[in-house]
Amino acid sequence: MDLMLSEREKRLLDILSEDAGPSITEISEQLGVSAATIRNDLNALTEKGIIIRIRGKSIPAFHPDILARQKQNIEAKKRIARAAAGMIQNGDTVFIDSGTTVALVPRYLLGKRDVHLVTYSTMVLPYARINPGIRLTIVGGEFRPAIDCLVGKFAVEGFSNFHVRLAFIGTTGFSIAEGITNMLLESAEVIRRMCDYAERIILLADSSKYDRLGFAKVFPLGRISEIITDKEMSQQALESLRGQGLEVTVV
């Protein structure tokens, strides 16, 4: 997730993602700053929960797959997440799916009051931790580092204990013919159950996800209430989606 990192912190994280063993001196030479500055940056990243310090080494706290996805279409994902957060009202109840776009939604909830989020994703924790207006429930399950969430029988069953007004879901890819897909079958199972107990289902997907398919089918596009996407989505795609009776918001 994007925790408002500086450009130097992002470059430092890139170095650590490729090689967890460089010394502070080696990193300072690569970035052209002092060793003291690098130490301060490492301390700051540790406090934010972005890296972990083990036996004198610094390693990213997130799986490499997540770090790679976080770098894709960053600005579009922020706009989509901000628009989704704008739909949330004080006192709302909301399901939050896993994924690098959906996980950004809580970032834009500062100022909202008594918003109850229910999720199986652990990526929302840093935002919930700093926002007193968020109440967070995380359903149990087996942790999957590659998607930073909890899956399995307990996660699937856990959502049946709730009813919410909004469910924000992500996707590996979606199309009119195949609907919404996900990279993991286990995650697809959780999303299906989660959406059974939501009044409105909103898909958050940047334009790169259109006509792209993941391994596991989730459900047809007809199940969702709205799509929020970015302005790079082609006019032809927008017309096709709206032709299916879908509400599409472009940001």
**Could you write out the three-class secondary structure of 105-122?**
HHHHHCCCCCEEEEECEC
Question: Is the domain of 56 the same as that of 143?
Answer: no
Q: Measured between alpha carbons, how far is 5 from 154 in angstroms, rounded to an integer?
A: 34
Residue 28 structural domain = 7-61
Return the minimum-mean-pLDDT range out of 59-73, 133-147, 176-190, 194-208. Answer: 59-73
Task: Residue 32: give its domain's CATH number.
Answer: 1.10.10.10
* Residue 39 CB partners (closer than 8 Å, separation 6+): 24
The model's pTM = 0.78
Residue 210 gets which letter from DSSP? B
Question: Is the domain of 198 the same as that of 117?
Answer: yes
Question: Is the domain of 210 the same as that of 107?
Answer: yes
Average pLDDT (138-156) is 90
Evaluate if residue 55 carries a pLDDT over 70. Answer: no
Task: Residue 162: give its domain's CATH number.
Answer: 3.40.50.1360
Evaluate if residue 51 carries a pLDDT over 80. Answer: no
Q: How confident is the model at residue 1 (pLDDT cuts 50, 70, 90)?
A: very low
Report percent pLDDT > 70 for the chain. Answer: 88
Question: Is the domain of 53 the same as that of 80?
Answer: no
Question: Is the domain of 15 the same as that of 93?
Answer: no
Question: Cα Rg for the chain, rounded, in angstroms?
Answer: 19
DSSP E strands, the chain: 51-54, 57-60, 93-96, 115-119, 134-138, 142-144, 149-151, 164-169, 173-175, 179-182, 198-204, 216-219, 226-229, 247-250
Number of domains in the chain: 2
Report percent pLDDT > 90 for the chain. Answer: 66
Structure confidence by residue, pLDDT tens digits, 6-46: 889 878 877 876 665 688 888 899 999 999 999 899 888 87
Question: Is the domain of 128 the same as that of 231?
Answer: yes
Q: Measured between alpha carbons, how far is 174 from 192 in angstroms, rounded to an integer?
A: 15
Question: Is the domain of 209 the same as that of 101?
Answer: yes
Question: Is the domain of 41 the same as that of 116?
Answer: no
Average pLDDT (231-245) is 97
